[in-house]
Chain A
């Protein structure tokens, strides 16, 4: 990493995200078991889609807050398992190159209680910097700046540091993007500031869609998500993910399941949240959503709740995303390689 970028990283850590001091101290913690290379594309090749389920029961130590150092270690473990590389920097270099502009689409609708964890986002940024991405080429974003702030992010606009702001600061494109049932204006953060997208959703129950994980997080990219909630968001979620500007940029999903919600979502309902202390990582958002859905169903069963199907809100959009018209990934358990680390 260049001297300049080191300075920027410090700046980012100081101004953009909490836990800066701890994160600075984690540079050497890149051990972790090297897994077999499991990253694969599903589809016509017949190869399986890998979904990494990385868990750390000690993620919060003895307290309730996530330990930033353990979060970084957990992320490293997941990424190394996904890419089959021994070192975090190598894992990330397999996915991003210097010169690329990286959008981290977080989910902050749930406020501090149930949003993308700031320590996870900080860890991702740290690894992107390590891989040679310039600080100002990284933008952490969601729909509204105020929602980012409520979730614990510090806005950062301009300067040679990691950027953090909402679409409200930059607006939407003038021209419609359309696929199937969907026609929307897209965030300029996606179209003009992100040559690739890393999706950082949260594992959540959703009263309409069933679950909201990777695919539905793209509703935060369009200007009119309220139009696409009828019918359990099906086929709208799949169609949104087919918009060329989204599909062509989507490279990786890192789902935050450190705190997840199995009932009453998508808003924060503390009585229905649990500390899963888990990350789900995949390049296949459909496989990841299918996996996340099963995790929520297991938790619901454990709590004595009906299945989402019995509640008439099974996430059928996941199957739609996998169908012949969309081919966004696979929802076939036989084609999903689950790797627990």
Chain B
């Protein structure tokens, strides 16, 4: 079955020490990918259908939808507003209309779980140097041609091995592995909003925070309800162009920008990642437009991460993003006045570190996904007392 979740099973009956868990769960190194899956050795029909007998365990009525005539429904979770007939599913593939009632099929249906450094999300201004109990279910409400986790994000829940991990168990596991944070990540947490909300409540009751790594492609009401329970949010802003969103992401830019503004108004700590794809979203004009929009609508203190693309999924014909391209993006955003512009997925690059915007001294040094030196004291620069925005204390 699925090695990562075997760890969860083992933990339930036979607690593993942290080293054993980490050895198993983090064996694959970088973000969750194909390595976690064990495929059938041969194409032999099985005697029993896999995964269907426990369907009821994961099936909970959805929170965000509207009933229509003839047993149809309109989903109100994301801007697609899928109109779904009886026995059909929405675009995400994880929500199904059964007799005019819309259900999520992925509540507590975890297909990936790891303990990750928080820097891997990446969240650089949130409890640096800590770890997060990170989980995902199958499914996504967009279809990025570069998705690194497409094997779970672009699948239906019954197509990937999963385990039943109810909210209370999530909190217990996070506590067991000394994680101050639960992270909803890997696939697209928008589509498991109900589970995320319940797990966040269970975590908070146990003194554990929650963060989400999301595309932000949500309706305002669902965003407020679900991400209102988060302690920090990382939004993947895939591009600053509607045509890119339409052609490469199968989504729309405007609702994502609206979500960022809403999160800002809600006072949620938010960081933005922009994955730079050679030739597709790497023009000076786009970088400049993005930085100007952030400055005008969110402020100069929102961290912006320009990260390196690696060929995946349907975009294997593109090269890895050249580091000079990332440095050009950062230079443009810096010049526009943003205070915290990072370069990601490039180990050893000095732009992974946090610097004081006033005195330019280094405040957080990062090596890979590790915060090797944290100098911030009382939310401020120890050299010039400049306040450094973020969540720095557990």
Other-chain contact of A267, B40, B52, B88 (Cβ < 8 Å): B88
Q: CB-defined interface of B66-103 with A at 8 Å, one 1/0 digit per residue?
A: 00001000000000100101111111110000000000
- Is the Cβ of A169 less than 8 Å from the Cβ of B70? no
Listed in ascending order, the chain B residues whose CB lies under 8 Å from chain A are: 34, 39-40, 43-47, 49-50, 52, 70, 80, 83, 85-93, 143, 145, 154-156, 158-159, 250, 313-314
Q: Is the CB of B85 within 8 A of A171?
A: no
Contact B47 A157 (CB under 8 A): yes
Given A223-B155, A226-B91, A193 contacting B43 (CB threshold 8 A): yes
Whole-angstrom distance from the CB of B161 to the nearest CB of chain A? 11
A to B CB contacts below 8 Å, 24 in the list: A109-B87, A146-B49, A146-B52, A157-B47, A165-B45, A168-B49, A168-B52, A168-B158, A169-B46, A170-B44, A170-B45, A172-B159, A176-B313, A183-B145, A183-B313, A183-B314, A188-B43, A193-B43, A207-B85, A223-B155, A226-B91, A226-B156, A229-B91, A266-B85
Q: How far is B141's CA from A224's CA once the two chains are assembled, in angstroms?
A: 12
Which of chain A's residues have a CB closer than 8 A to the CB of B40? 171
Sorted from nearest, which 6 A-B pairs have the closest CB atoms? Answer: A169-B45, A226-B93, A188-B43, A183-B314, A192-B43, A157-B45
CA distance A145 to B159 in the complex (A): 14
A-B pairs with CB below 8 Å: how many? Answer: 69
Interface residue? A230 (CB, 8 A): yes
Within 8 Å by CB of B91, from A144, A168, A170, A227, lies: A227
Asked if A264 is an interface residue, CB under 8 A from chain B, the answer is: yes
Q: How far is the CA of A178 from the CA of B143 in the complex (A)?
A: 14
One of B70, B80, B145 near A264 (C-beta < 8 A): B70
Taken residue by residue from 159 to 182, chain A's Cβ proximity to chain B (1 for < 8 Å, 0 otherwise) reads as: 000010110111110101010000
Return chain A residues, CB-CB under 8 Å to B49: 144-146, 166, 168-169
Q: A144-B49, A227-B91 are known contacts; what are 13 more A-B pairs with Cβ within 8 Å?
A: A109-B87, A146-B49, A168-B49, A168-B158, A171-B40, A171-B43, A183-B313, A183-B314, A188-B43, A223-B154, A224-B155, A226-B89, A226-B156
Specify which chain A residues have a CB less than 8 angstroms from the CB of B70 in the assembled complex. 264
Q: Are the CB atoms of B313 and A168 closer together than 8 Å?
A: no
Q: How many whole Å from A214's CB to the nearest CB in chain B?
A: 20
A165, A192, A267, most chain B CB atoms within 10 A: A267
B43 adjacent to A170 (CB under 8 Å): yes
Q: Is A158 an interface residue (CB 8 A)?
A: yes
Query: Are A267 and B85 within 8 A (Cβ)?
Result: yes
Whether A226 touches B43, Cβ cut-off 8 Å, given contacts A145-B49, A176-B313, is no
**Given the interface contacts A146-B49, A168-B50, A168-B52, does A226 sit within 8 Å of B85 by beta carbon?**
no
Within the complex, the shortest CB–CB distance from B188 to chain A, in Å, comes to 13
**Chain A residues with CB under 8 A of B155:** 223-224
A165 to B47, CA, bound (A): 10
Complex CA distance for A171 and B250, rounded to whole angstroms: 26
